[in-house]
Amino acid sequence: MGKPNALLSIGFVLIQFLCIGWILLTGPNFPVNLVLLIFELLAIALGLWSILVMGLKNFNIMPDVKTSGRLVTAGPYRLIRHPIYTAILIATGVLVIDSLTLVRFAVWIILLIDLLLKVEHEERLLVQFLEGYTEYKDRTARIIPFLY
């Protein structure tokens, strides 16, 4: 088994936080539009629910597998392997739509690409180091239930 590439993991997280920070600092953090606000609140709820179900001991901002990591298949993880990434993309996407500029949209696209690449990297590690992950992958979506 290969060792995780720490620099790659740090790079994914750094880009992720820079993009999220840029989006949060360049526009309102809560939309005035009620529909967008509901989507943002639902995304935040999904993220918090995902962390609660996963447990703080299993939670890791880095895409690397913790030595004490365990496979979580309850709650939102029944349908989505990476519901926290789903929550991040929805919440930040709503903020970009609410105060749309070309730069904010470009930053969101960079965030999307970064998270997709981070998922690929993370899943290679999870298959390698977490028993049962391959079977779990076969029955769940990555980020969007029933689609991707």
pLDDT-derived band at 29 (thresholds 50, 70, 90) equals very high
pLDDT value at 2 more than 60:
no
Residues 66-85 pLDDT 10s: 888 899 999 999 999 999 99
pLDDT at 117: 97
* In contact, 113 and 143? CB cutoff 8 Å: no
**Residues whose CB falls within 8 Å of the CB of residue 25, separated by 6 or more in sequence, listed in order:** none
Entry pTM = 0.93
* Residue 45 Rama label (left phi>0; alpha psi -120 to 50; beta): alpha
Percent of the chain with pLDDT over 90: 85
Secondary structure, 3-state, the chain: CCCCCHHHHHHHHHHHHHHHHHHHHCCCCCCCCHHHHHHHHHHHHHHHHHHHHHCCCCCCCCCCCCCCCCCCCCHHHHCECCHHHHHHHHHHHHHHHHCCCHHHHHHHHHHHHHHHHHHHHHHHHHHHHCCCHHHHHHHCECCCCCCC
pLDDT at position 121 is 95
At 43-65, the pLDDT tens digits run 999 999 999 999 988 999 999 98
Contact between 40 and 95 (Cβ < 8 Å) = yes
Examine the pLDDT at 3 and tell me if it is beyond 90: no
Q: What is the pLDDT of residues 105-146, one digit of tens each?
A: 999 999 999 999 999 999 999 999 899 999 999 999 999 987
Q: What is the pLDDT of residues 92-104, one digit of tens each?
A: 999 999 999 999 9
Q: Decide if 51 contacts 84 (C-beta within 8 A).
A: yes
Name the residue type at position 115.
Answer: L
